[in-house]
Amino acid sequence: MNGHDILTELGGIDGRFILQASPDAKPKKNLKRPLALAACLAVIVAGGLTGYGYWRTRFPAAGTHIQPPVTSDTSDTSDAADTAGTLPPDTAGGDTANPHLTLTAEEAGAAFQQFRKLGDAVPTRAYQKVYAPDVSFLGVSVTEADALPGYDYLDRGLTPDGAELWSFADGIAPRLAKATGLSLPSAVTQEGPDGWPETNFSAPGYLFFAFQNGNADCLSLSHEDGGVALNGVRVAVDQRLSDEQIDAALEPLKRELFDIFGVSFPDIRVRRNYDGWSEHGATWVDILLYDESAHPLNRYLSSPVSDYILLSFDNAENYSGDVVSDDILEKVVILYSHRRVAAETEYTEKDYGPLIGLEKAEEYLRKGWVFGGHVCPLCMAEQEAVVFDTYDAWGLTYVTSWNEMGDTLTGALPFYVFYKAIGTSENGNTTYAETYVPAVEVTGMEEYFESQTKEHDALYNAPAEG
């Protein structure tokens, strides 16, 4: 399997956000889960943003209102809910003209269109199901900031460069091979099916290759039997440990990785996926080593937009009953992603004004003005109604949009994300409904959702023919 094959299999979407038609749905045998490389490879393809970004910092209690500071200048603070979405005055112009960009409901909905392959007439008033042992595993981020900018991707026009890829791989592969106990294997650099160069190393029993796609060069290694050791240090993770305990346990391995790849990252991120069908533990666990301060988006997105090392541990061979372990995972893909250009040169900020505030977001939530439902309209239509008058967790995140091919990022918009427990999956995990509300002022919400309702009725409530 080469870089193009993996990208094709994964589709550039974080496995955390692969949607299921029902909580009882199971993958078919031989339909491999995305190796947890999806988010990483999406970064390689188009600048580091997964489909839906999220990260954990802390959780408010269910129903707790944490109102971001209001930036508008008002002496009347008796009704914070009414002023939460007020835009600051244009002091330069001496009037109250809106100095910010305007986001429309259509634009907000378009951020989710990459998941809707059947056309634009698919309602966005829906939710998707996610699974976790409890609310602390959902990984939502809350911030006290008064505003989060949007982002546009600035295409740097990077073209395939086989010489650059070879230079990157040749500087690292010998150290990685030596640490693994391999003699430096022979290498062949060639153009992959997608036109981007690939360097494949001949190493029996290993998948050892480098590839370039868009704005990153990447080197990946895994073993057909799963286990890998680096200079005698086993690459493994005990999924029973807390994130902090995992960080401490990985110190010897981190030193080896930093020495091999010639980097040093101060931050670690642990991503765990709990599907509705998995019968044992997490279906996969990702360990990301990175620098959160390298770009503002790194705090919120499931994959950094800067350089990082990924250890992706798989806990299933091909299907849910084919489980590897309930505790220590060793079936791993090691991947180092190095950006060809600095992230700050690829993302331009868009000022949509201050956050609307949680109370305004809750108003949209109660009205059903929400985004981010199922891939398939039939799945959405078959969903049981969920009333979000109460919810179990909320946070702030970015929703990122891609082109139709899924290989070029086009932008990132700030959203509130809400979770509500709606049941229990077959493995005992909690099933949560997850839905989104724009975190900034949006025009045309009422008109947009009226049109969505009409489209839904036309699609699914039309009288049967004959």
String of DSSP letters for 224-276: TTS--EETTEE--EETTS-HHHHHHHTHHHHHHHHHHHT----EEEEEEE--S
Which pLDDT belongs to residue 324?
61
Which pLDDT belongs to residue 283?
86
In whole angstroms, give the CA distance from residue 224 to residue 190.
23
Residue 457 to residues 27, 378, 453, Cα–Cα distance (Å): 31, 12, 6
Among 34, 43, 39, CA closest to 314 = 34
Which pLDDT belongs to residue 280?
63
Burial track 419-451 (b if 16+ CB lie within 10 A, e otherwise) = bbbbeebbbebbbbbbbbbbbbbbeebeebbee
Which pLDDT belongs to residue 110?
81
- β partners of residue 334: 221, 311
Please state the separation of Cα 31 from the chain's center in Å. 21
83 burial (CB, 10 Å; 0-12 / 13-18 / 19+) is middle
The residue type at 209: F
Which pLDDT belongs to residue 461?
64
C-alpha radius of gyration, the chain, whole number? 23
Whole-prediction pTM: 0.78
Residue ranges covered by each domain of the chain: 3-46+159-213+216-345, 103-155+349-460
In whole angstroms, give the CA distance from residue 14 to residue 65.
30
| C-beta of residue 133 within 8 angstroms of C-beta of residue 430 | yes
Give me 50's structure tokens: 């997964």
| Secondary-structure breakdown of the chain: helix, strand, coil percentages, each rounded to the nearest 5 | 25, 25, 50
In whole angstroms, give the CA distance from residue 407 to residue 132.
29
| C-beta of residue 52 within 8 angstroms of C-beta of residue 372 | yes
Which pLDDT belongs to residue 215?
86
Among 246, 239, 242, 313, CA closest to 280 = 239
Give me 26's structure tokens: 């199971």
What does the pLDDT profile of the chain (466 residues) look like in tens digits?
444 343 333 323 232 222 222 233 333 323 233 333 433 343 333 333 333 333 333 333 333 333 332 233 333 333 333 333 333 333 333 344 557 899 999 889 888 765 544 444 455 678 888 999 989 888 777 777 788 999 988 888 889 999 999 999 999 999 999 999 998 778 888 888 888 999 999 888 999 999 998 889 999 999 988 789 999 999 999 999 999 999 999 999 999 999 999 999 999 999 998 887 766 678 889 999 999 999 998 988 888 989 999 999 988 754 445 556 778 999 999 999 999 998 888 888 999 999 999 999 999 999 989 988 765 666 777 788 898 989 999 999 998 876 655 556 678 999 999 999 999 987 788 999 999 999 999 999 999 888 877 776 776 665 655 5
